[in-house]
Amino acid sequence: MAVDAPDTDLILTEIDPAGFAVLTLNRPQAMNALSRALMRDLASAIDRLSADERVRVIVLTGAGRAFSAGLDLKEIGAGEGSLGSGQASADPVAAIERCPKPVIGAINGAAVTGGFELALACDVLLASSAARFADTHARVGVSPGWGLSQRLSRAIGPYRAREVSFTGNWVSAEQAAEWGFVNRVVAPEALLDSARALARDMLGTLPEMLLRYKAVINEGYRLPFGEGMALEKGRAREFNAQVTADGVEQRREAVRARNRGG
């Protein structure tokens, strides 16, 4: 089992004055395997940034050659961890799910099993061409508990998802983009710059709309289509009653100027 130096920050946090933050999983010597301490620190960091008014978008990435190798099975095998602690304070996927702000996954390398689930919990995924994904739950004998069996099938269809999960085979970044659970693939050296640029694009929208749009998409996606449509209509009626024609016209002109490149 890889040993973390006592003075090592397991999560690196960079807050950009533009209004976004970059969180980096920092156990490169263990391929960012999700130890109890790392999971706790990541969940805490996401919750802290969720409440930080300086931050409107979060970027999540990994240090070294992996995004995350998943749960630290060596720690668990040594009797130092648990597969089912159920502690919300140490559940980074639950922290992403309750985060009201967009979370961009910048997948720099291998995302395996629990690391794959962590990636799928993000709102948008950018992948380095060095990234690859694998679901090894069936090979190591652990049942998924962070949504892989449900999110992947909804993202790429049940037939492809079954192939991925029943075999444990690798899915390349390019294949992931073709199948639709990665937004796009970029060169490794361009990954963080691309994620930061995407965050800045998101920051160009109205703050309240960014939060509302994430909520209506994510909450509606969990519902049957008809109920999702009703949810959107209800939220629109509530919000649009406060919108003024002058305000819309001013913002529309700003959009036109942006599209003209000036």
pLDDT in tens, 201-235: 999 999 999 999 999 999 999 999 999 999 999 99
The 10s digit of each residue's pLDDT in 148-180 is 999 999 999 999 999 999 999 999 999 999 999
Per-residue tokens: 190: 């361009």
Q: How confident is the model at residue 259 (pLDDT cuts 50, 70, 90)?
A: low
5-15 residue pLDDT tens: 555 799 999 99
SS3 letters across 36-94:
HHHHHHHHHHHHHHHCCCCCCEEEEEECCCEEECCECHHHHHCCCCCCCCCCHHHCHHH
pTM of the model: 0.89
Percent of the chain whose pLDDT exceeds 70: 85
Domain ranges of the chain: 11-203, 207-259
pLDDT over 90 at 244, yes or no: no
Answer whether 81's CB lies under 8 Å from 128's CB: no
Q: Residue 250: pLDDT band by 50, 70, 90 thresholds? A: low
pLDDT, position 74 = 75
Determine the Cα–Cα distance for residues 45 and 47; give it in Å rounded to an integer. 5
Assigned fold of 11-203: 2-enoyl-CoA Hydratase; Chain A, domain 1 (3.90.226)
What are the tens digits of pLDDT across the range 74-107? 776 555 555 544 555 689 999 999 999 999 999 9
User: For residues 159 and 249, which has the higher predicted lDDT (pLDDT)?
Assistant: 159
Structure-model confidence comparison of residues 171 and 247, the more confident one: 171
Average pLDDT over residues 105-114: 97
**163, two tokens:** 């192939």
**Two structure tokens written together for 192:** 């963080």
Q: In the prediction, which pLDDT does 254 show?
A: 63
The token pair that represents 157 in the structure block: 């269809």
Q: Are strands 132-134 and 171-172 parallel, antiparallel or unpaired?
A: antiparallel
Structure confidence at residue 191 as a pLDDT band (50, 70, 90): very high
Percent of the chain past pLDDT 90, that is, above it, reads 79
Number of helices followed by number of strands (H, E) in the chain: 12, 10
> How many C-beta atoms lie closer than 10 Å to residue 108's C-beta?
26
pLDDT of residue 243: 81
Of 30, 11, 8, 34, nearest in space to 21 by CA:
11
Q: For 12-33, what is the mean pLDDT?
A: 97
Please say if the pLDDT value at position 2 is more than 60. no
